Each structure stands twice: as structure tokens, then as C-alpha cells.
């Protein structure tokens, strides 16, 4: 009887350790601006699972274009930031499903951040999620494509154009890992 109990206990333990331990994200109440983001996401063919609310809000200054934090975000945009200098940019966060990252990384959701200025979605980015590290890789374009396909050029070519346009690149903080950067900037 003891042998059967031990075997049963080991089977239950083994099965429970196989379950995926997905991170929990707290949903917030939807406001007018986050509703703009939800509509945009749904028009792009994705489903919003959770509205995570406002992540950050700042006035975009040209000097920020030298900082790697901003470069990593703008490299995956379809636009240059020039038209938004001196304007407030809000980053609204969502968990979405039916995104290419879902199948690619085996998690049912993708972390998406929309950049909203003056009530209009001007861009955004996605971050794949896994059950172990929460976030993997770098910031991706909204559609989940890789940077080279999205930009039509290599990152080296793009950064050379960026340096010509804005005058260089400046590291504003060195992070141990990209996950540390994302946790510092986008997750509470």
C-alpha cells in the first residue's frame, strides 16, 4: 500500500510540474485612451485579452533620439519621430492573442505596447512572452516581423541613417539583460 501511495504521489508531482506557470498580468479599467488602443488592435486582427493600462507618459524631445532606450523602440516603427517632438507620447500596454508570437513562442498571449499621441495611435511594439522568462528577445514591430524585414534594411544600415539624422547614439543605462530593461520600463 505504501508503494502505491508513493508512486501515486510521484505521478501527481510529475504532472503538476509539467503545467505551464504563466505570468499573471493585472487588468485595469478601460479609459477613453486605452479604448482607442483596443480598437486599433482589433482592427489589426488581434484580440485584446487584458488591458494593462498606461505604462509611461513623456514629452518626446529630440535629444532622446540619442538614447538607446528610445532607439530600440523607434527602430521598429513605420515613421520617424520628428513630427512628435515636443508632444506627449503615452505607452498603453495590452495582452493580445492571435498574434504571430503566440505560435512562435508557445504562449497564448503577446505583450503589446501602443504609442498614442493626441488621441491617435502612432506606433507601437510587441514583446514575446514565455512561461519561464516572461519576455524573450527584443522589441518587435507590431506585426511581430523581424526588424530587417520590417525596415527593409539591416540594423547596421538603419542605425547609420539614424546617426546621420540625429547625430549619434548615447547609452543612458547599461542593463545586465534585455529582460531587466523591459522590466524596468514596461512592467510594474
Residue 56 lies in a domain: yes
Render pLDDT for 66-103 as a digit per residue (tens, 0 to 9).
888 888 888 889 889 999 999 999 999 999 998 888 88
Residue 69 has a pLDDT of 81
| Cα distances (Å, whole numbers) of residue 88 to 28, 83, 119, 137 | 22, 12, 10, 28
Cβ(146)–Cβ(140) below 8 Å: yes
Residue 82 lies in a domain: yes
| pTM (two decimals) | 0.74
Render pLDDT for 127-156 as a digit per residue (tens, 0 to 9).
887 665 556 567 888 888 766 666 778 878
How many domains is the chain partitioned into structurally? 1
Residue 5 lies in a domain: no
Residue 112 lies in a domain: yes
Residue 1 lies in a domain: no
- CA-CA-CA-CA dihedral for 11, 12, 14, 18, to nearest 10: 140
Residue 7 has a pLDDT of 37
Quote the CA–CA distance of 54 and 114 in Å, as a whole number. Answer: 10
Residue span of the structural domain in which 100 resides: 25-185
Range 21-41 burial, b when 16+ CB lie within 10 A, else e: eebebeeeeeeebbebbbebb
Residue 3 lies in a domain: no
Quote the CA–CA distance of 108 and 21 in Å, as a whole number. Answer: 12
Residue 173 lies in a domain: yes
Render pLDDT for 166-185 as a digit per residue (tens, 0 to 9).
886 665 554 555 556 566 65
Cβ(98)–Cβ(47) below 8 Å: yes
Angle at 42 between CA 41 and CA 44, to 5 degrees: 65
Could you tell me where the DSSP H helices lie in the chain? 2-18, 32-43, 68-74, 100-105, 147-151, 155-166, 178-185
126 contacts: CB under 8 Å, gap ≥ 6: 96, 99, 101, 110, 111, 112, 113, 139, 140, 141, 142, 144
Phi and psi dihedrals of 150, rounded to 5? -70, -45
More confident site: 124 or 147: 124
Amino acid at each position: 500500500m505504501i508503494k502505491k501511495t508513493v508512486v501515486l504521489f510521484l505521478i501527481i508531482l510529475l504532472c503538476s510540474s509539467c503545467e505551464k506557470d504563466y505570468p499573471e498580468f493585472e487588468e485595469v479599467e478601460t479609459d477613453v485612451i486605452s479604448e482607442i488602443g483596443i480598437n486599433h488592435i482589433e482592427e489589426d486582427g488581434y484580440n485584446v485579452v487584458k488591458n494593462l493600462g498606461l505604462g509611461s507618459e513623456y514629452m518626446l524631445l529630440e535629444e532622446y533620439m540619442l538614447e538607446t532606450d528610445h532607439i530600440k523602440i523607434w527602430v521598429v516603427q513605420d515613421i520617424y519621430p520628428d513630427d512628435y517632438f515636443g508632444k506627449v507620447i503615452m505607452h498603453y500596454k495590452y495582452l493580445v492573442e492571435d498574434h504571430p508570437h503566440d505560435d512562435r513562442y508557445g504562449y497564448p498571449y503577446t505583450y503589446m505596447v501602443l504609442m498614442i499621441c493626441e488621441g491617435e495611435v502612432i506606433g507601437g511594439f510587441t514583446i514575446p512572452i514565455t512561461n519561464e522568462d516572461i519576455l524573450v528577445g527584443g522589441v518587435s514591430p507590431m506585426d511581430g516581423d523581424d526588424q530587417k524585414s520590417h525596415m527593409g534594411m539591416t540594423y547596421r544600415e538603419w542605425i547609420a541613417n539614424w546617426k546621420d539624422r540625429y547625430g549619434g547614439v548615447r547609452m543612458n543605462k547599461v542593463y545586465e539583460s534585455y529582460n531587466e530593461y523591459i522590466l524596468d520600463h514596461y512592467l510594474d
